[in-house]
Amino acid sequence: MALEVGAIAEGVVSGITNFGAFITLPGNAVGLVHISEVADAYVRDVKDYLKEQDKVFVKVINIDPKGKIGLSIKQAKSLAPNTATDEPRAAATDKPAVSQTERPAPRPTAAIAGRTGGAPSRSVGFTPPRSASPETFEEKLSKFIKESDQKQQEFRRSTDAKRGGRGTGRS
Q: Which amino acid is at 47?
A: K
Kindly calculate the radius of gyration of the chain based on its CA atoms and give it in whole angstroms: 27
The overall pTM is greater than 0.75: no
Residue 102 has pLDDT above 80, yes or no: no
Percentages helix, strand, coil for the chain (3-state, rounded to 5) are 30, 20, 50
Give per-residue pLDDT as tens, 12-71: 999 999 999 999 998 889 999 999 999 988 989 999 999 999 999 999 999 989 889 999
Domains of the chain: 8-77 (2.40.50.140)
Average pLDDT score over the chain: 75
Q: What is the pLDDT of residue 11?
A: 93
Q: What is the pLDDT of residue 155?
A: 87
Give per-residue pLDDT as tens, 131-158: 556 778 888 888 999 999 999 988 888 8
Q: Reduced to 3 states, what is the DSSP secondary structure of residue 157?
A: helix
What is the share, in percent, of the chain residues with pLDDT greater than 90? 35
52, 82, 134, 164 from 121: Cα distances, Å: 49, 45, 21, 37
Q: What is the pLDDT of residue 162?
A: 76
For the chain, give the number of residues. Answer: 171
Residue 89 has pLDDT above 60, yes or no: no
Which whole number is the average pLDDT over 93-109?
Answer: 48
